[in-house]
Structure 1
Amino acid sequence: MANLLKNATLFDGERFLNNQTVEIVDGKISRIGDIADVEQSGHEIVDLSGQILAPGFVDVQVNGGGGVMFNDQRSVDGLAEIVRGHRQFGSTTLMPTLITDSFEVMREAADAISAAIKSGVPGVRGVHFEGPYLSLKRRGVHAPEFLREVDEDAFDLFTRGDLGEVIVTVAPECVPSAFIADLSKKGVHVCAGHSAATYEQVGEALSVGLRGFTHLFNAMPPLANRAPSVAGAGLDDPNSWCGLIVDGYHLHFASARIVVRAKPQGKIMLVTDAMATVGAKEKHFNLYGDTIQAVDGRCALDDGTLAGSDLDMMRAVELTHKQLGVELGEALRMASLYPAQFLRLDDRIGRVSPGFDADLVAFGQDDMKVTRTWIKGEGETH
């Protein structure tokens, strides 16, 4: 099946190009050019009428969506619903994220991810285990009864080989450095999060393979003049990636602007930390038996404690552009190319280029509303 996406304002991952046509053949981008460049016979043609066509968004922290929490529905059907909840907002690659739970639940979640990848659930390219090896002091809404030392079989679970890309968020002070080093050698993307570690402890973790920081500044001590802590280590290190929740609730916009200026370009990736309410009519859900409400885009317990987000990636891009003052192309890279680089998938996603997977999002230039997405060339109208 071949498709022609015509009259696009194309953002190819580097620059904007007007009046472009993108040819898709067998799920891959085949050719790019102006309208006259591509033979149109035998193609299904989509006229984008000047809309922006960009690389599909890559979200490395997605707890739920479409009314489903991954912790509760550890199944192929549950994962498909989460994808559907987020796809309408431009996300074409997701890392379903399991919040701290028992080892049995972790194993069941891994089995669901493996089955989803084998059955071709669109957009699922791996899994993110957020916990359970986290700091009790900085646990947020993670259940304290499930926080623990590293399980005997944890290494085998994370490196079993059929889970696609694997992210594991740990508190560096709560796990042996050798655990981080061994996971990294096996290709697991280890991140620091929900941590009270010192700058020095994080430095040790970075030296043995720590690659990223989960929702920078959230669930970690604030940066202080004589105690840079986890956040300071994340900003100071030029080689690691920092996830940022730009919703106006997790981080003041001024703080987010400082982060963007402080970290080298290419090392900030937008994440949603989304819960079940994204893409769902119901704006409440249960976590560990507690009801969490999403009000005006803010997910919280009754006592006001933040519990994930009601943020989608298109909104994150829009806020990054309009509230942080980041140029639109850079905001789009923060939502696609940079997380693709973090996942070491930037040879197939994150750009609109011949040979890359046809993972794409189209949205209006003025209202920034998603109208269409493609995952490996399969299109969907929103």
Structure 2
Amino acid sequence: MSSIDPQSPTRIVANRLYDGIADEPVRDRLIEIADGRITAIRPATAQDAREGATREFDMVAPGFIDLQINGAGDTQFNFNPDAQALGRIAQGARQGGTAYLLPTFITAPGRDYARAISAVETAIAQGVPGILGVHLEGPFLSQRRPGIHDPSAIRTIDAEDLDALTTAQAGAVLLTVAPEDLPEGALARLTSAGVRVFAGHTEATADQIDQAESEGLVGVTHLFNAMSQMTGREPGVVGATLASRGLFAGIIADGHHVDWRNIAIATRAMPDRLCLVTDAMLTLAGQETGFELHGVAIQLRDGRLTNSEGRLAGAHVSMIESLRNMLDNGICDLAQAVKMATANPARALGLEGEVGVLRPGCRAALTCLSPELDVAGVMVDGQLFAPLPG
């Protein structure tokens, strides 16, 4: 998306407003904005729409938050870990309604993840719109559940890693690990320093997940994918997550990664803890239809990104497509789908007072939609972006 103009509106009229909290929208509301914050939300009048510095949209929701996006706009974070690349990824993500994102850096050799942390620190310092933090998916994963990650780069976390991760100044830091392979005390040290630790690419038992949760584990990365499954006598990661009262989980609602019936089960079991994520790669909002990952050719065909063996390699779906998929498959209503794209991920990051809902005092982040649920605009900290043509 490109900015509408240097003078972004300070007043937004919403014909329908979903605030990320209520189960029903409210109609005809005016959102007032100053200094990148929401200052007031009140009933709109006919005069409001005619006044200057006002834009009107059919539907307004809190700005969508994507906790897991590897790339967009022909740019992959692992390939270009710098602030300029993050700007391109954020722009591509905005085409699908995303206001805030955690650019995701997957398993790489040694301490390559430090480059990702540095890039996000620079991007935030430079004010790149929408960069909320960083998601490090690996390299501290299970060799038994590598997925598309490079098994040769998967390793155990060490003291130097813990020092680097617990001192990072990269906004919200989300770290995906296999908790069963962490050294004793490592999880508690990470979580006490504010790192949001998720379990993923893991063969953990339900008991191990329960123990990790007691030590501060916050959630699970791409529920159902690359983790131990639920059986009659061993709930695995999936069962432990569904049974938990506190764990959050990202889920990829693209119709390829998870059966819709499983998504329906998870939505009903954890409506306030399930988060829509894209797991998108560089093909999203881009021109490229193929790339190499760890020397393996990945191709986009029929909406699926796979290697030559058919193994999924990330996703090619946007946040607005994910939301529409939830509705089209009868998983939930619009208010619930909005929560899964906004309030739930904000709570997973511990940022519920800042983003994910629409109320005075919060950062002015909005996703504005047409009656057909197409993206009509995305506001990030008071700056309104319009869809690119085409």
TM-score by length of 2: 0.93
Deviation at 1:43? 4.1
Deviation at 1:6? 2.3
Q: Is 2:336 aligned against 1:330?
A: yes
What is aligned with 2:304?
A: 298
Task: Describe the superposition over 1:316-346 as per-residue Cα deviations: whole angstroms up to 9, x where unpaired.
Answer: 1111122143010010000000100111111
What is aligned with 1:237?
A: 244
What is aligned with 1:22?
A: 31
Deviation at 1:7? 4.8
1:119 to 126, 131, 137: 126
Deviation at 1:161? 3.8
Q: Is 2:381 aligned against 1:376?
A: yes
Separation in structure 1 between the aligned mates of residue 241 and residue 382 of structure 2, nearest angstrom = 36
Between 247-256 and 295-304, the greater mean CA deviation after superposition: 295-304
Task: Describe the superposition over 1:69-90 as per-residue Cα deviations: whole angstroms up to 9, x where unpaired.
Answer: 1110010111111101101111
What is aligned with 2:163?
A: 156
What is aligned with 1:109?
A: 116
What is aligned with 1:275?
A: 281
Separation in structure 1 between the aligned mates of residue 301 and residue 367 of structure 2, nearest angstrom = 27
Separation in structure 2 between the aligned mates of residue 258 and residue 28 of structure 1, nearest angstrom = 36
- Relative to 1, partners in 2 of residues 1:161 and 1:132: Cα closer, same or farther, differing over 3 Å? closer
Deviation at 1:132? 0.7
What is aligned with 1:194?
A: 201
Separation in structure 1 between the aligned mates of residue 46 and residue 158 of structure 2, nearest angstrom = 57
Letter in 2 for 1:251: V
CA contact (8 A) 2:263 2:331 kept: no
What is aligned with 1:54?
A: 61
- Relative to 1, partners in 2 of residues 1:6 and 1:262: Cα closer, same or farther, differing over 3 Å? closer
- Relative to 1, partners in 2 of residues 1:7 and 1:208: Cα closer, same or farther, differing over 3 Å? closer
Match of 2:112, SS? Answer: helix
Alignment of 1:207-222 (within 5 A): 207-222=214-229
Task: Describe the superposition over 1:29-60 as per-residue Cα deviations: whole angstroms up to 9, x where unpaired.
Answer: 12222333987898412132xx1111110111
Count of residue pairs brought into register by the alignment: 378
Separation in structure 1 between the aligned mates of residue 104 and residue 45 of structure 2, nearest angstrom = 44
Separation in structure 2 between the aligned mates of residue 59 and residue 181 of structure 1, nearest angstrom = 25
Separation in structure 1 between the aligned mates of residue 50 and residue 34 of structure 2, nearest angstrom = 13
Separation in structure 1 between the aligned mates of residue 268 and residue 185 of structure 2, nearest angstrom = 33
Match of 1:219, SS? Answer: coil
Match of 1:269, SS? Answer: strand
CA contact (8 A) 1:3 1:43 kept: no
CA contact (8 A) 1:10 1:20 kept: yes
Instruction: Specify every segment of 5 or more residues in structure 1 that has no aligned partner in the other structure, as ranges.
Output: none
Letter in 2 for 1:254: R
What is aligned with 2:3?
A: none
Letter in 2 for 1:58: I
Match of 2:210, SS? Answer: helix
Between 163-172 and 36-45, the greater mean CA deviation after superposition: 36-45
Between 223-232 and 6-15, the greater mean CA deviation after superposition: 6-15
1:32 to 24, 28, 41: 41
Separation in structure 2 between the aligned mates of residue 324 and residue 160 of structure 1, nearest angstrom = 43
- Relative to 1, partners in 2 of residues 1:267 and 1:41: Cα closer, same or farther, differing over 3 Å? same
Task: Describe the superposition over 1:11-33 as per-residue Cα deviations: whole angstroms up to 9, x where unpaired.
Answer: 12224111222121121112222
Instruction: Specify every segment of 5 or more residues in structure 2 that has no aligned partner in the other structure, as ranges.
Output: 1-6
Task: Describe the superposition over 1:283-324 as per-residue Cα deviations: whole angstroms up to 9, x where unpaired.
Answer: 222211222112222111111000110011001111112214
